[in-house]
């Protein structure tokens, strides 16, 4: 439920001003994003470190890691003069999600766009990578006026005043031009904000909470005193992993039709996380282009070690291998209750979103794949003959042909056929996860509410109560939002916290429902945290009496 503790009405006659002059007034010595070596040194991090060694896959079904483990703690200097020589994907290949194409966004919008309000609003269609996701002026306006700082802090801190949960949390800031600051940490929200205003990162990633301040990690070299202790349990789904089953788009392109794969994945994972694992505080966030991330924020999830995270990853590892693996789903019978429940959810989606929406087997060569997944050689031959004699049959019709042809043959084992068809439904619909994101506490994940540099879309929370109503192509873009502020009369000059003062800019833009939802989510999480603290204190007091 959206939380609405503030109202959009104004208390005082607002002193309005156009956005652009105000931004000039509040320019924070950004120098158009130019960083000196001194800046890099002052930031405390002039290097990046490689991801931890991936444990060997415990089971054959484990997808291969997307990058080879590198020597731990091997520093890679990123200095200004070298930044153009280093490709981000080389440094972080496989370490982050959704990273390719992120930095392909161009500064399509100039200051002039901002002044004249000509930045196009949310532009539907996959071939419209606009929205100003890399424009420093737009980023400055976004971070200053629209980013939900206070609730963001509370979400990560779990308390009103700074705790180690916030102070020892790793942030990484991705700047335009290929500079990445890893292992950043902040004692207060103000320090984080100040750093973000200074660098205007195109992307912020969130890592784990460490035993000590991540900036001091070198003090603890060769010691177990510095290690990750907590992190939300995360899931990452990306539509590029569905390229072998979607026909409408491929690669970074998406549309409403293939977004249905994300919708069904969220449904299946959502129910399982709640009913199978007992998690209550699960936030889904649009990745800005072609996928979604889940942040399971329950205290018991944050404390999971990597061994347990791996077990959870395996639990959801149903579609195995890659495109060329052949039959990718081979689940045991009787079906695990989780799979039986998932099939119940997915069957309908299979008929409407896959068979009708994608029509994956209409072409003869694609229909070969369906035949390959069927158990009986004679059945396969009979179907192939039928389809060759009647070209152009749709996937819905071909799916029906399987049972009707099997029936006329009489010799097909109906149990084997049923199970094969269940496996096919799962292969085409069951969530496909980037498993490393789930399994490794140290894995960085793109923060909610940052802006995708390529599309300009904000990484907003997804309302799971209205999952079918979420339109990824209708998500506000940074350019559109700034236009909305201008159209509503510009910035209202008032003292106080940008986020919480009445009549704040975010409330007058289309980001409001997403921010409201985030605030509601954070309030729910904090309620549980307070309850945990209360019960713990009571137990300690009771324990005290016993002695």
Residues of the shown chain interacting with Zn ion in the complex, contacts defined by CB under 5 A: 248-249, 255, 257-258
Residue 248 or 473 with smaller CB distance to Zn ion: 248
Q: Tell me the β-bridge partners of 48.
A: 76
For residue 316, count other CB atoms closer than 10 A to its CB.
22
Nearer to Zn ion among residue 231 and residue 260 (C-beta): 260
Q: How far apart are CA 491 and CA 22, in angstroms?
A: 7
- Cβ 248 to Zn ion, closest distance in Å? 3
Minimum CB distance to Zn ion, residue 373 (Å): 23
* Helix or strand holding residue 421 (H, E): helix 414-429
245/482 with CB nearer Zn ion = 245
Nearer to Zn ion, 240 or 509 (CB): 240
Residue 411 token pair: 């010799």
**Quick check: is 353 catalytic?**
no
Which of 356, 326, 349 is CA-nearest to residue 262? 349
Q: Output 366-371 pairs: Cβ under 8 A, ≥24 positions apart.
A: 366/247, 367/398, 370/398, 370/424
Contact between 93 and 67 (Cβ < 8 Å):
yes
Quickly list DSSP for 231-275: --EEEEEEGGGGTTT-SS--TT---HHHHHHHHHHHHHHHHHHHH
Closest CB 357 distance from Zn ion, rounded Å: 9
Minimum CB–partner distance for residue 249 and Zn ion (Å): 3
In the complex, least distance from residue 253 CB atom to Zn ion, rounded to whole angstroms:
7
Burial classification of residue 468, based on how many CB atoms lie within 10 Å of its CB (0-12 exposed, 13-18 middle, 19 or more buried)? exposed
Q: Is 241 a catalytic residue?
A: no
Across the beta sheet with 291-296, the strand order is 233-238, 291-296, 282-286
From residue 527, give the alpha-carbon distance in Å to each of 96, 176, 298, 500, 521. 31, 38, 11, 19, 10
Task: Report the nearest approach of Zn ion to the CB of residue 457 (Å).
Answer: 16
Q: Which of 98, 113, 170, 353 is catalytic?
A: 170
Q: What whole-number distance in Å separates Cα of residue 151 and Cα of residue 504?
A: 14
CA distance 257 to 263: 10
Q: Which of 93, 232, 238, 439 is catalytic?
A: 238
How far apart, in whole angstroms, are the C-alpha atoms of residue 163 and residue 21? 37
Angle between helix 512-546 and helix 149-157 axes, rounded to 10 deg: 30
Contacts of 533 (CB under 8 A, 6+ apart): none
Q: What SS3 class is residue 156?
A: helix
> In this complex, which beta carbon is closest to Zn ion, that of residue 383 or of residue 475?
475
Shorter beta-carbon distance to Zn ion: residue 211 or 253: 253
> Which one of 232, 236, 427, 439 is the catalytic residue?
236
Catalytic residue at 46? no
* Cα–Cα distance, 76 to 11 (Å, whole number): 52
Angstrom distance (rounded) from CA 138 to CA 257:
31
Does residue 152 sit in helix, strand or coil?
Answer: helix
Nearest by Cα to 127 from 334, 3, 289: 289
Find, among 157, 111, 108, the residue nearest to 129 by Cα.
108
The residue among 355 and 374 lying less far from Zn ion, judged by its C-beta, is 355
Between 248 and 373, CB nearer to Zn ion: 248
- Nearer to Zn ion (CB atom), residue 251 or residue 415: 251
Kindly list the catalytic residues: 170, 236, 238
């Amino acid at each position: 439920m959206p939380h609405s503790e503030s109202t959009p009405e104004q208390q005082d006659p607002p002193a309005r001003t156009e956005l652009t002059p105000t931004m000039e007034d509040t320019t924070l010595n950004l120098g158009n994003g130019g960083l000196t070596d001194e800046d890099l040194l002052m930031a405390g991090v002039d290097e990046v470190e490689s991801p931890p060694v991936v444990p060997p896959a415990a089971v054959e079904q484990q997808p291969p890691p997307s990058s080879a483990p590198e020597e731990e703690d091997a520093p890679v200097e990123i200095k200004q003069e070298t930044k153009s020589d280093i490709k981000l994907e080389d440094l972080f290949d496989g370490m982050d999600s959704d990273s390719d194409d992120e930095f392909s966004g161009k500064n399509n919008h100039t200051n002039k766009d901002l002044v004249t309000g000509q930045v196009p609003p949310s532009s539907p269609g996959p071939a419209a990578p606009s929205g100003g996701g890399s424009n420093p002026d737009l980023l400055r306006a976004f971070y200053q006026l629209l980013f939900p700082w206070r609730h963001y802090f509370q979400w990560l801190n779990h308390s009103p005043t700074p705790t180690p949960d916030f102070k020892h949390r790793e942030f990484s800031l991705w700047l335009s031009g290929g500079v990445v600051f890893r292992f950043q940490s902040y004692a207060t929200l103000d320090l984080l904000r100040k750093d973000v205003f200074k660098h205007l990162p195109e992307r912020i990633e969130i890592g784990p909470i460490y035993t000590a301040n991540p900036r001091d990690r070198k003090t603890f070299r060769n010691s177990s005193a510095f290690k990750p202790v907590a992190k939300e349990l995360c899931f990452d789904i990306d539509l590029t992993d569905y390229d072998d089953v979607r026909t409408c788009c491929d690669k970074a392109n998406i549309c409403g039709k293939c977004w249905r794969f994300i919708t069904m994945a969220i449904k299946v994972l959502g129910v399982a996380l709640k009913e199978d694992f007992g998690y209550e505080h699960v936030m889904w966030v649009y990745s800005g282009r072609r996928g979604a991330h889940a942040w399971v924020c329950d205290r018991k999830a944050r404390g999971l070690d990597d061994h347990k995270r791996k077990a959870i990853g395996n639990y959801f590892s149903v579609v195995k291998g890659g495109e060329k693996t052949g039959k990718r789903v081979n689940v045991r019978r009787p079906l695990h209750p989780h799979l039986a429940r998932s099939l119940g959810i997915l069957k309908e989606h299979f008929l409407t979103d896959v068979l009708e929406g994608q029509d994956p087997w209409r072409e003869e060569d694609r229909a070969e794949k369906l035949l390959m997944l069927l158990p009986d050689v004679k059945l396969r031959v009979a179907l192939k003959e039928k389809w060759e004699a009647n070209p152009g049959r749709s996937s819905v019709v071909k799916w029906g042909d399987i049972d009707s042809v099997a029936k006329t043959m009489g010799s097909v084992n109906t149990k084997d056929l049923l199970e094969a068809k269940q496996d096919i439904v799962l292969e085409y619909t069951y969530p496909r996860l980037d498993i490393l994101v789930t399994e490794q506490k140290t894995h960085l994940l793109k923060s909610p509410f940052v802006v995708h540099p390529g599309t300009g879309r904000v990484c907003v929370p997804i309302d799971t109560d209205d999952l079918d109503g979420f339109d990824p192509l209708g998500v506000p873009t940074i350019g559109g939002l700034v236009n909305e502020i201008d159209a509503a009369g510009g910035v209202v000059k008032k003292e106080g916290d940008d986020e919480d003062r009445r009549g704040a800019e975010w409330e007058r833009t289309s980001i409001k429902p997403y921010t409201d939802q985030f605030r509601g989510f954070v309030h729910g999480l904090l309620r549980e945290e307070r309850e945990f603290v209360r019960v713990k204190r009571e137990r300690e007091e009771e324990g005290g009496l016993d002695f």
